[in-house]
Structure 1
């Protein structure tokens, strides 16, 4: 059994829905004080209310992850409200598709600004507090797309998710002396709100491609994050944890 996160301060970005919301809720259930960060103030507040309704401690905050001042204000607020920051889950990201022939420079830059720049700003702004913690944890939300697999229309997205892992490895070395661990989760196909419009037939085909026979749930990713945030994961850094139901295992599809 993992040691609960009782009293720990956790910042979760992109926390109003999907994987981020499940992570924030799981941290709240484990006794953490959670800063729920999202682009929309209303969405952040609604997700925060869900944690509080279950007896957890949480605060909502709207922030644009591309804006250095906004991200710094986020870290300052978390530290002020919760007496420090013990862990950061950099989950905020976007996932628009575009094929290379049609992709614009603006689309490429926007993807990089949110997924990579936002991750960097989040980590950097929280670093002084993470170093001051006796259990500093950073978890980056990457993907199987980019580091392991590819998908037509996702080259800009895949580049950012692969880039996260290069950042992770060097950052893990930089911060090891401070006792701060840096790891990444690589989700496979997870049943989030973003898949709802794809249709039942498409979702069934996606599920059939997974050896375990089903799409993952956001809670599956949240459980993996809880492990990496735990005291028991203190000796793990610079590593990736694939949570995909075996999706990346087959050499060929039947």
Structure 2
């Protein structure tokens, strides 16, 4: 296992699913981990479960789309755990279904819904990075990983255009920041999960999940832990010369 001892890690959207798995993996590797979620009860439960296993954790509630909320959360983390050396931008939403039971199509979604998805999925990553990068620059090192999606690279009929647009934008965000922050010793990468076995995915029609499984060369859906272990590598010293990359965690479903 890669050691993250001494590192302070902030994971957004860490109350459940992929975010919780990412936070848990870093906690198990010896990092001090801030479990940030908009739902304080979810953040508290996830952080407490890891703490019961011997990890150093902190539960933090914040709206990543709100600058003041992000700044207050980061200040609390720094005061409690120390300077943040690793940021995982995982928080994201993929709201309501359309008339056919799939994600809302262009004519079905409101401008308000479009803006909210962009605010959380994309602006949230910008605000969190803006809040932690100054200290990383002072330290001369740091790691940022954003959770994109294969839906940001190709058409995926179970998500809406707002979600796909934000995940594509996170790839551009990642590549630009990698170039901008590289001279400061900060690596910036992204992961692009495919079909991952989460509660959200289990709500999809069984036949759709079976079709996805059969379309995946490894013949299974991914697990949150598959994504978490990829993030763990990208934030480790073993990946110190890896930056500006998008790592698909999709079992070969998309090969580019």
Where in structure 2 are there 5+ consecutive unaligned residues? 96-102
Distance 1:101 1:199 in 2: 23
Match of 2:11 in 1: 12
Alpha-carbon contact 1:79-1:129 (below 8 Å) kept:
no
Shift of 1:153: 5.1
Change in Cα spacing, 1:48 to 1:113, as seen in structure 2 (3 Å) is: same
What is the SS of the residue equivalent to 1:49? helix
1:25 CA drift (Å): 0.4
SS where residue 101 of structure 1 aligns?
Answer: helix
In structure 2, what is the Cα distance between the partners aligned to 1:98 and 1:216? 24
- 1:170 matched residue in structure 2: 176
Which residue, out of 121, 127, 130, partners 1:124?
Answer: 130
Q: Secondary structure at the match of 1:66?
A: coil
Distance change >3 Å, CA 136–CA 207, structure 1 → 2: same
Is the contact between residue 99 and residue 152 of structure 1 (CA under 8 Å) also seen in structure 2? no
Q: Does 1:204 align with 2:185?
A: no
Question: In the alignment, which residue of structure 2 is the partner of 1:77?
Answer: 76
Q: CA RMSD in A?
A: 1.5
1:225 counterpart = 2:231: yes
State the 1:118 CA deviation.
0.6
Residue 65 of structure 1 pairs with residue 71 of structure 2: no
Q: Contact conserved, 1:14 with 1:92, CA < 8 A, in 2?
A: yes
TM-score (norm 1): 0.94
Map of 1:137 onto structure 2 = 143
What's the secondary structure of 2:107's corresponding residue? coil
1:86 CA displacement: 0.6
Q: How does 1:150-169 map to 2 (within 5 A)?
A: 150-151=156-157, 154-169=160-175
- Describe the superposition over 1:51-98 as per-residue Cα deviations: whole angstroms up to 9, x where unpaired: 111111100011011110000111111111112111000000001221
Report the Cα offset of residue 200 of structure 1: 3.5
- Which whole-Å CA distance do the structure 1 matches of 2:15 and 2:174 have between them? 24
TM-score, normalised via structure 2 length: 0.93
Partner of 1:103: 109
Report the Cα offset of residue 5 of structure 1. 0.1
Q: Secondary structure at the match of 1:7?
A: coil
Query: Matches of 1:198 and 1:150 in 2, distance apart?
Result: 13
Partner SS state of residue 28, structure 1: helix
**1:74-131 CA distances to partner (integer Å, 9 max, x unpaired)?**
1111111112111000000001221011121111111101001111001101111222
Q: Residues 21-58 of structure 1: CA distance to partner in whole angstroms, max 9, x if unpaired? A: 00000000000000000011111000001111111110
1:35 pairs with 2:34: yes
Q: What's the CA shift for 1:238?
A: 0.8
Q: CA deviation at 1:204?
A: 2.2
With over 3 angstroms needed to count, the CA separation of the structure-2 counterparts of 1:249 and 1:173, relative to structure 1, is: closer
Q: Which moved more, 1:55-64 or 1:153-162?
A: 153-162
